[in-house]
Amino acid sequence: MLTVLPPVSRVAIVTQKGIGVEVETAGEQRVFTIPDGESAKTLATIEDLCSGFSSWGLTRGDMVIGIGGGVVTDVAGFAAASYHRGVPVAHVATTLLAQIDAAIGGKTGVNLPQGKNLVGAFWQPTAVFCDTDTLTTLPEREMNCGRGEMAKYHFLGGDGMESLDLDEQVARCVEIKAEVVAADEREAGRRMVLNYGHTLAHAIETTGRYDMRHGEAVAVGLVYAAELAAAMGRIDIDRVDEHRRIVDHYDLPRALPAGVDDDELLAAMGRDKKAFDGLTFVLDGPDGVEPVHGVDPDLARNTLDRVR
């Protein structure tokens, strides 16, 4: 690995229990283990990591390597961006979600009780390593976390991607995301399309009461976004059906979990970090997928019935 990374004296490896991927480095290394699951994405975790880096003597001339899925790359990246106001970071992505989305593009962050990824930084990794062989042992629902994002890429220029083998799918997703990020690194406009399906998805996840993984929530969010776009006259029913077909192809849910609270979802969608003029959604339309501001709250509420 060090043949493609800059020479460093120390490498801080951030990972979670049970991942089982080792990295050989020429310099000294120390492993920092964070809690499993989404619960690790807190400011307290960042403080613990940075304190550990400091106690060990990590400097700007050293490196952080995140080994794991999207939680690890988000947390390791934010810790690297924050410590000493920025130390180099690289990622070894071990889940489908991380390989095609979370580890790519430099977005890092943690959650607050009010919502997902509300505190973070843009911090580009020096390198991202994706080996699809590491995906063979993942549970099916962990793969679903990535499949929801893969379904999203179909509508961002990945038409026909579902017929490719896994290696080619991962490469195509990375290519699409890299093109978008290169044009808009700080999410001033174009990069918002990468949040297609995520406004409702993050609202579902923020409530924390539903047994739905990220990619599964994104799948529901994609169908909802298509229904909302159709209700606004932006797309026709055939395009909505295409969204349903792609979600079905990846064997993902397209209905809200039972017992969902509409008021709670609308409130969470209003707090989405994309919003600055009422409700903001990323929606399909005649010019493709794009951010749409000032969506009518009543229409957004009524459209929830289309994904029950």
Domains of the chain: 10-135 (3.40.50.1970), 190-307 (1.20.1090.10)
Q: What is the pLDDT of residue 187?
A: 86
* Res 183 pLDDT > 70: yes
Q: What is the pLDDT of residue 233?
A: 99
* Res 144 pLDDT > 70: yes
* Res 157 pLDDT > 70: yes
pTM of the shown model: 0.90
* Res 177 pLDDT > 90: yes
261 conformational bin, left if phi > 0, alpha if psi -120 to 50, beta if neither? beta
Residues noted as catalytic: 85, 107, 149, 177, 187, 191, 195, 198, 202, 214
Q: How confident is the model at residue 274 (pLDDT cuts 50, 70, 90)?
A: low
* Res 3 pLDDT > 50: no
> How far is the C-alpha of 245 from the C-alpha of 240, rounded, in Å?
9
Residues 222-253: tens digit of each pLDDT: 999 999 999 999 999 999 999 999 999 999 99
Write a three-state SS string for the chain.
CCCCCCCCCEEEEEEECCCCCCCCCCCEEEEEEECCCHHHCCHHHHHHHHHHHHHHCCCCCCEEEEEECHHHHHHHHHHHHHHHHCCCEEEEECCHHHHHHHCCCCEEEEEECCEEEEEEEECCCCEEEECHHHHCCCCHHHHHHHHHHHHHHHCCCCCCHHHCCHHHHHHHHHHHHHHHHHHCCCCCCHHHHHHCCHHHHHHHHHHCCCCCCHHHHHHHHHHHHHHHHHHCCCCCHHHHHHHHHHHHHCCCCCCCCCCCCHHHHHHHHHCCCCCCCCEEEEECCCCCCEEEEEECHHHHHHHHHHHC
What proportion of the chain, given as a percentage, has pLDDT over 90? 84
Residues 22-38: tens digit of each pLDDT: 777 778 999 999 999 88
| Residue of higher predicted confidence among 22 and 307 | 307
CB 125 within 8 A of CB 106: yes
Q: What is the pLDDT of residue 4?
A: 59
> How far is the C-alpha of 77 from the C-alpha of 55, rounded, in Å?
19
CB 241 within 8 A of CB 249: no
